[in-house]
Amino acid sequence: MEILGIDIGGSGIKGAPVDTEKGVMLTDRHRISTPDGGKPDDVAEVVGQIVKHFDWKGPIGCTFPAVMKNGFAYSAANVHDSWIGTDAHRLFQRVTGCPVIVLNDADAAGIAEMRFGAGVGHDGIVFILTFGTGIGSAIFVDGTLMPNTELGHLEIRGKDAEDRAADSIRKQKDWSYKKWSKRVNEYLQHLEFLFSPDLIIFGGGVSKKHEKFFHRLDTRAEVVPAQLRNNAGIIGAAVAATKLV
């Protein structure tokens, strides 16, 4: 089955048609920078541009960096606060003219990794953590998703964890991987204290450079790099949208 997946992030919005049975993108992804401020109508316009780029007429799966319930955004991480209470499902359907399902971005990445990537065959408690503009999280218990966990907002030393350990902070502060990994390690150990995961899948673009810092992480759980990396959101969104068919 072919479905268009779109991944909305704090810095970029990207999409591609996906073969949902094989878990692969059928073309190169098309990326457009997230509009300054990230307001609903502006983001929806970019979603429409991506749909037009692929001349797409069918179902669409779309991620969003927020708590998502029944298509409504209940938070606004790295986008404008006016998203809170917005019916994203209805907004994107109106702009694209296509059936759309909207889900949390980290949940979508988790769906992809569990079905086609590093989580295949793993039971128990599996965490998928995406390190990018912020820190996204998805938790699977024996293969079942517990949605909208938002563990990037756990408080560590008086701040949101993502304000201390997101990859964007590493870049902003021009930290070495050695210095940044201390913040990441503190965060992972805090998660272990609270949840005792069996496997941690480390995602986001920085996972491509995991050899620079994985050896500095000290966790009880096995930590592995995400296999689908920055394509996981697109693929997971498309898989989630198969329920529209």
Do 16 and 34 fall into the same domain?
A: yes
Q: What is the pLDDT of residue 179?
A: 97
Quick: pLDDT tens for 72-94.
999 987 789 999 999 999 999 99
Query: Are residues 99 and 40 part of one domain?
Result: yes
Q: What is the CATH number of the domain that holds 201?
A: 3.30.420.40
Q: Is residue 116 part of a domain?
A: no
Describe the strand order of the beta sheet including 135-141 as a list of residue ranges.
144-146, 135-141, 125-131, 199-203, 222-225
Q: Identify whether residues 103 and 127 lie together within a single domain.
A: no
Whether residue 129 lies inside any domain: the answer is yes
Statement to judge: residues 53 and 86 lie in one domain: yes
pTM across the whole model: 0.93
Over residues 6-24, the mean pLDDT reads 95
204 domain-assigned:
yes
Q: What are phi and psi of 173, to 5 degrees?
A: -85, -5
166 in any annotated domain? yes
What Rg, from alpha-carbon coordinates, does the chain have?
Answer: 17
Range of the domain at 206: 121-226
Looking at the fold, whether 100 and 131 belong to one and the same domain comes out as no
Residues 95 and 188 in one domain: no
Residue 9 confidence class, pLDDT cut points 50, 70, 90? confident
